[in-house]
Amino acid sequence: GQQLNQSPQSMFIQEGEDVSMNCTSSSIFNTWLWYKQDPGEGPVLLIALYKAGELTSNGRLTAQFGITRKDSFLNISASIPSDVGIYFCAGQRFMTTDSWGKFQFGAGTQVVVTP
């Protein structure tokens, strides 16, 4: 199950507004991933982060790997109706070969964009 704290749980915003969400953990992570899931579909990878402090953009999306390596942030600028969906963070700790690939997921942030 989820061991990451993702907030907010939901957001209702107007088209054109910016959106910010974050994930925090008590553990240090080596990788942060951000996904978007549309209804009836699988999560789609938006951004991958591999270094503390890293700031990566994908169009109107920007994500940052926190300096403490215990958090990550996702921003969506100038939201549009198709930004509606659930956004998930996922963190990975690399400890040993057996631990590689075991991602922990946040509970998701539901984004609703009104015209």
List residues near other proteins by CB under 8 A: 1-2, 30-31, 33, 35, 40-45, 48, 50, 88, 90, 92, 98, 100-103, 105-108
* Residue with smaller CB distance to other proteins, 56 or 77: 56
Question: Distance (Å, rounded) from C-alpha 59 to C-alpha 71?
Answer: 22
* Residue with smaller CB distance to other proteins, 79 or 109: 109
What's the CA angle centered on 112, arms 110 and 115, to 5 degrees? 170
Residue 28 CB, shortest distance to other proteins, in Å, is 15
Please state, as a whole number, how many other Cβ atoms lie within 10 Å of the Cβ of residue 85. 20
Residue 106 CB, shortest distance to other proteins, in Å, is 8
* Residue with smaller CB distance to other proteins, 84 or 103: 103
Residue 7 CB, shortest distance to other proteins, in Å, is 14
82 phi, psi to nearest 5 deg: -75, -5
Task: Give the burial class of 102: count Cβ atoms within 10 A of its Cβ; 0-12 exposed, 13-18 middle, 19 or more buried.
Answer: exposed
Written as six digits, the tokens of 48 are: 């991958």
* Residue with smaller CB distance to other proteins, 39 or 59: 39
